[in-house]
Structure 1
């Protein structure tokens, strides 16, 4: 790896990371000139190194005529880069050195991560960085990965969790990004006359996969200076432009939609009630965590608690409460009650 000490000078440093007095690891918070936010963690005693890169864009930014595009991009990104063109090379390197890797697409974020034997962090980071600086999006894999995504969609049709989520979405405001179909299918990702899905994928990547939309965390046993050098040499070429996802988002539920009762007949044997309360965004109160307090009070299982009363009636077996959905625009508070047969009919 070439040293680029000259590139280290313009890095911006953010506020000092506050760590526990018992935490002996070293931390560094910085930003590259292209806008990439980075947190470095040096742990001289760790056996495992780990990396996570979060892109602040997800299924909520799918084009209206390309449901599942963000998820499809997550799949296609892993299939070769300019430096490592062979599909599966990254996964093989991680596996050979005692690690694991994965990724997920949510409403507002797509996250890529891995862990590996601490001695092999640099090689893994070198392969990982290429997904964001020089991916190939090889056309020969489009059909295969489209089928993989479709299989993921069809396999979920008989999963109660996926079915319940789909029913809940029916109540959402149709203009809200959460109301969309996030997984993707052969139909939504199909090539159309004059509109190949790979071209739409490349357009989405160029719009949103830019440094200002990304946050990188690297943990290794090397000292902070070495970790910083490794990051700068590999991520300085990330484009600094692009587009930030966002814009005005309507409320989760449309006007006059609430109160609402929905009923789902499950495939597996299960009985529970889920009570959802839409709320403003909780981000501004992250230090105070009011929903955590509320969840603790309602989730209490001792004498006089809500659960104890329901159990005394023979209606419930368990209860949990806490934050449900949460993003920059809104949140929900949810109470889930595992019901007995008598409780279901009460």
Structure 2
């Protein structure tokens, strides 16, 4: 986040109010979230999509030789779900795409979407430890990452299928009830500012940023 001469504390106060109100942050997102979920060896569609889910649609049109199974469902809250079942896979993978990115940042608070991307990993109501999610993923030999683009923010997670259900609960809680703890917000304001300052000296990054606004 980068807001000229505004003090970091003021940035945190404003960001906290906006981030905790997803309706403000995602005002341009309409349906809100598009969720892409991939499980290895287990079907998500069914009890995992209750309540409010409609009947899952089996996708049969696929390349010859593709042994994976595909299902699509649309939940009552507007979330679209894609489930891919691969019995040969050793890993389970999840991805959530939020239909809001840097183009949705308030004019006076540029970098807010990127800031929220960072904050979601730093504790939720059920799992409040700031490093808890990363510690869990590392301990299980998994991988997690996220990125903020112009019109979308994408979060991803990959772990052993043996811990898929616990990983799914932890991943989901990031979006349901993120904490946005004050202490962590202060740290991330500085981290985002530092990242922005580094990018400003990267000619390729600056050129790409200018071209995007033409």
TM-score bracket, shorter-length normalisation = 0.7 to 0.9
- Quote the Cα distance in structure 2 between the aligned partners of 1:131 and 1:75: 11
3-state secondary structure, aligned to 1:112? strand
CA-atom RMSD, angstroms?
2.2
3-state secondary structure, aligned to 1:122? helix
Q: Which runs of structure 2 are paired with 1:319-330 in the superposition (5 Å)?
A: none
Q: Which runs of structure 2 are paired with 1:295-314 in the superposition (5 Å)?
A: none
Which residue is equivalent to 1:16? 59
When Rg is computed on C-alpha atoms for both structures, the one with the higher figure is: 1
Which residue is equivalent to 1:72? 115
Query: In the alignment, is residue 102 of structure 1 matched against residue 145 of structure 2?
Result: yes
TM-score, normalised on structure 1? 0.46
Indicate how the Cα distance of structure 1 residues 66 and 12 shifts in structure 2: closer, same or farther if over 3 A, else same. Answer: farther
- Quote the Cα distance in structure 1 between the aligned partners of 2:48 and 2:108: 46
Q: What runs of 5+ residues in structure 1 fail to find an aligned partner?
A: 170-177, 180-252, 254-346
In the TM superposition, what is the alpha-carbon distance from 1:96 to its structure 2 partner?
0.9
Which residue is equivalent to 2:90? 47
C-alpha distance after superposition, 1:269-309 (max 9, x if no partner): xxxxxxxxxxxxxxxxxxxxxxxxxxxxxxxxxxxxxxxxx
Q: Which runs of structure 2 are paired with 1:184-263 in the superposition (5 Å)?
A: 253=214
Higher helix share: 2
3-state secondary structure, aligned to 1:18? coil
Answer with 76-85 or 17-26: which moved more: 17-26
Q: What runs of 5+ residues in structure 2 fail to find an aligned partner?
A: 1-45
State whether residues 81 and 130 of structure 1, in contact with CA within 8 Å, keep that contact through their aligned partners in structure 2: yes
TM-score, normalised on structure 2? 0.72
Answer with 12-21 or 38-47: which moved more: 12-21
How many residues are aligned here? 169
Runs of 4+, deviation exceeding 4 Å: 3-6
- Quote the Cα distance in structure 2 between the aligned partners of 1:6 and 1:38: 9
